[in-house]
Amino acid sequence: MNEHIFTPAYLRLPPNVLADKARQAEEILKECTLCPRECRVDRTAGETGFCRTGNKPFISSYGPHFGEERPLVGRYGSGTIFMGNCNLGCLFCQNYSISHLGEGSEVSFERLADLMLHLQEQGCHNINFVTPTHQMPMILRSLLIASENGLNLPVVYNCGGFESLHAIELLDGVVDIYMPDFKYDDPEMALKYSDAPQYPDAARKAIKEMHRQVGDLIIDRRGIALRGLLVRHLVLPAGIAGTAGIVKFIAEEISKNTYINVMDQYRPCFRAFDHPPLNRRITAREYADAVQMAIDAGLKRIDGVTI
């Protein structure tokens, strides 16, 4: 079904490098600093920090997904694996049953590898790890197993943007497509709505490193993304997200050729109803203004927008 004309990054690594990276990542779990919260708990000894996750894969669901950006979905879908729990505390999370309520189950590394191979067999164009940040070591260990058993799809790191620089650096040569959110420009908003005042600074540093590793998004003749950076930005009511500052940063410090999805699908979920103005959808004007901000900043590749 798929034309495998592209060799993913993890298959181009020298022998034993992926195994070494998995071991280095697992060492971090002993005093966890996988994300900027730096809980420093020993997740290998049963301790859990903010993300409430141990040292085994914790999966919510998986399957071909057709609701992602067009370059990921193609004809046969993006092979999404939703990792359970989260390192952010967003009051408005639309997947709150997974991120906040712990929906999911612990599986073995071999089972996670089997899921990747099953998605490949179904014809998916990529393996898309959703909310991978706090489970990066488990993903590397399972990816190693899957790659030894025939996996040859690009890996998508579909994260919230609240990443530690050293963790992203460890992924150099493993991830083909980085797809981070960039949620907030203002630390006060990040604290108020996601309990993460470090978010804007951490996201800027991480996205710079992601782009250094993979560059601008490369799309093949079928319209399928193979490698590069794709940034998501969810427009929030009343300018809470700070769109102008975010698109300015991307255009001036990353690349004007960055593929960005300025998203209009915000709807109140979870605890948003208790926190106006998050208790309403965005208006058509708010969305149009956000897209115009991206255009005015000089961004040339805006998902679904013809410039």
Percent of the chain with pLDDT over 90: 96
The per-residue pLDDT for 1 is: 34
Beta bridge partners of 129: 81, 157
In CATH, 9-38+58-302 is 1.10.10.10: no
The predicted model gives 214-219 an average pLDDT of 98
- Cis ω for the linkage preceding 277 (within 30 of 0): yes
pLDDT in tens, 72-121: 999 999 999 999 999 999 999 999 999 999 899 999 999 999 999 999 99
The per-residue pLDDT for 78 is: 98
The per-residue pLDDT for 306 is: 87
Q: How confident is the model at residue 307 (pLDDT cuts 50, 70, 90)?
A: confident
Q: How confident is the model at residue 5 (pLDDT cuts 50, 70, 90)?
A: confident
For residue 98, what is the enclosing H or E element? helix 96-99
Average pLDDT, the chain: 96
pLDDT in tens, 146-155: 999 999 999 9
Q: What is the torsion angle, in degrees rounded to the nearest 10, for the CA atoms of residue 300, residue 170, residue 48 and residue 57?
A: 80
Q: How confident is the model at residue 2 (pLDDT cuts 50, 70, 90)?
A: very low
Q: Which two tokens stand for residue 213?
A: 């590793």
pLDDT in tens, 28-81: 999 999 999 999 999 999 999 999 999 999 999 999 999 999 999 999 999 999
pLDDT in tens, 179-205: 999 999 999 999 999 999 999 999 999
Are the C-beta atoms of 244 and 30 separated by less than 8 Å? no
Distance (Å, whole) CA 182 – CA 246: 7
The predicted model gives 209-231 an average pLDDT of 97
In the chain, what are the domain boundaries? 9-38+58-302
The per-residue pLDDT for 3 is: 46
pLDDT in tens, 253-303: 999 999 999 999 999 999 999 999 999 999 999 999 999 999 999 999 999
